[in-house]
Amino acid sequence: MIYLDYMATTPVDKSVFDAMKPFLMTEGVFANPASIHPPGQTAMQAVQGATDQAAACLGVNAASLVWTSGATESINLALKGACEFYGRTRKHIITTQIAHKSELAVCEYLATQGFEVTYLSPTPEGIITPEAFEVACREDTLLASVMLVNNEVGTIQPVSALARIAKSRGILFHTDASQALGKIPIDINTLGCDLLSLSGHKAYGPKGVGLLYVRDKPVLRLAPQIHGGGHQHQLRSGTLPTHQIVGMAAAMALATAQLNEAPKAMHSLRDQFWDVIKKLPNTHLNHSFASSVPHCLNVHFEHIDAEVLMLSLNELAFSAGSACNAASFAPSHVLMAMGKTRLAASESVRFSFGRFSTLNEIAAAAAMISECVATLQAMLP
Amino acid sequence: MNYSGKVLDLLRNPQHAGCLVGSDVVSGEANAAQNGEHVRFFLIISRGVIKHVAYEVKGRVVTRALCEYLAASLNDIKCEEALGIIAQDFLSLLSLNKLYIHALLLVRDAAQRALDSWRIANGKAENTKKIKDN
């Protein structure tokens, strides 16, 4: 099996796994970090060390970070928490048509709570322009949310420029940076956002852990969404999972350390792969390499249904970037927002490479795809 | 989506995909305008028996699996029996959701039109009409 779905999830890096192991079993530091006995305090020290490590990667204070169960929870806490705390008079939210479902679903929920939501359209290249953003800003806009890197086409959004506009209008700005970690720099001071969500498993960390940055200078308040023992400054209750937190911090440190080299390797893999794939008839790239992270290709194979291609290539793991359910195969809302037809979206697939992808694998995958596409094209009426 | 092993096998190992050419070939096709699916069936019928079946398809997983399953089912079948084969509930036979009825109708239409072409060419259009009416 050749894995080409690193934007869906990544394996845990061995060094990350090694960092997590001491916090799980009896011979290690398994105690509850909230306990005041010595093992508990040792666990808390590990959590604090990991939080410092994560904060250093983002260029922020450790006190501004909240550990969550993943990006979906971070986004829920950021958007619902801000709207609940500050949204008595300002009832307008800005998001985008190319947002992740987790963000769109939160906005749909907030719409049922009296908030009005503007869904910004991207350019055909998948970019949210500052001009379009500025036009959407209103006197009553409370919050804007634009993801840093799109999860289906890999486009990098001009978050710094958008956050600047938001700040000048007194609008809170959130970005989901889950797909950016380890691919492009995430310096929160440069980005200028008030809230930023991250996930562990998109960057060789464990699943089930994420982070939310909440601006601390001046302090930004959020209404907690999970109530319980009042952990993490009353903001997110629930026992801190020491091993998960240590793992995600280790993954972030690794991603930051490799930020100079990793994108170059991805460029090389992508170029080799695309050089083969682009020669297939009626094959199109759905985005521009110039404005995308280097490990992502979203490709349209004309006349070939994405699900057929995926199931025919059972030695390759890649994604249609679409939502499946038992009765229908829904084409990507991102591609359709970029102006692709429903049919074109249903014939598009996403390949994404990662740290463990090799040139040999990429060459083999490209050959398998070429053969399969030729076979399927030969079956066309 | 989760498909049965049978459906995946039909998709991955098509034995009847392609076209037939020659003066003895009849064909029939059907389109689904709403999703761009297109199926064409080819038959070679000799002495009232279907000797060769092939199909071309632009379609989704279920449509392709149904094409292959129907094509295999029609091989060496007498024309009088073919309409009964075509009318079978292939969705149940392949453990597919009834929501795929559109795909089944598309594939059935293409196969039946191929059979109709042969009947018309051989002056048996009246027979076809009677079978349809029944």
**What is the pLDDT, as a whole number, of residue B90?**
92
Count contacts between A and B (CB, < 8 Å): 52
CA distance A112 to A100: 19
Cβ burial of A178 (10 Å; 0-12, 13-18, 19+) is buried
In this complex, do A311 and B59 lie within 8 Å of one another by their Cβ atoms? no
A308: nearest CB among B17, B61, B97: B61
List, for residues A216-270, the tens digit of each pLDDT value: 999 999 999 999 999 999 999 999 999 999 999 999 999 999 999 988 999 999 9
Residue in chain A closest to B63 (alpha carbons) equals A308
Nearest to A314 among B12, B61, B99 (CB): B12
Helix, strand, coil tally for chain A in percent (to 5): 40, 15, 40
* Active site annotation includes A296: no
A303 in contact with B at a CB cutoff of 8 Å? yes
Q: Check CB contact under 8 Å for A312 and B11.
A: yes
Q: Which chain A residues are Cβ-neighbours of B2 within 8 angstroms?
A: 326
pLDDT tens figures, A14-40: 999 999 999 999 988 999 999 999 999
For residue B41, what is the nearest residue in chain A, using CA coordinates? A381
Interfacial B residues in 29-88 facing A (CB < 8 Å): 29, 35-36, 38-40, 56-61, 64
Q: Are A182 and A262 in contact (CB under 8 A)?
A: yes
Q: What is the CA radius of gyration of chain A?
A: 21
Is A378 in contact with B40 (Cβ distance < 8 A)?
A: no
Reported as type and span, the H/E element at residue A51 is: helix A38-58
- Where do we find the tokens 């190319």? A98
- pLDDT tens-digit series, residues A76-101: 999 999 999 999 999 999 999 999 99
For A286-322, b/e burial (b = at least 16 CB within 10 A) is bbeeebbbbbbbbbbbbbbbbbbbbbbbeebbbbbbb
Residue B133: per-residue pLDDT? 45
Question: Between B3, B40, B60, which is nearest A305 by CB?
Answer: B60
Q: Which residues does residue B43 pair with via DSSP β-bridges, in sequence order?
A: B26, B53
Among chain B residues, CA nearest to A302 = B58
Residue-by-residue DSSP string for A204-250: TS-TT-EEEEE-BTTB-----SS-SS-TTTTTS-S---HHHHHHHHH
Which residue of B11, B36, B60 is in closest CB contact with A329? B60
Average pLDDT of the residues of chain A:
95
Cβ contact A307–B99 (<8 Å): no
Flag whether residue A25 sits within 8 Å of chain B, measured between CB atoms: no
Would you state the pLDDT for residue B129? 47
User: Coil, strand or helix: which one is B9?
Assistant: helix
Of the listed ranges A52-66, A264-278, A327-341, B68-82, the one predicted with least confidence: A327-341
Report residue B131's pLDDT band, with 50, 70 and 90 as the boundaries.
very low
Q: pTM score, two decimals?
A: 0.91
What proportion of chain A, given as a percentage, has pLDDT over 70?
Answer: 98
Which chain B residue's Cα is nearest to A379?
B56
Count CB atoms within 10 A of the CB of residue A96.
Answer: 28
A65's enclosing H/E stretch is strand A65-68
The first and second tokens of residue B17, run together, are 């995909």
Optimal mutation site among B6, B58, B63, B95, interface A, most CBs of chain A within 10 A: B58
* Selected catalytic residue, list A57, A193, A324, A372: A324
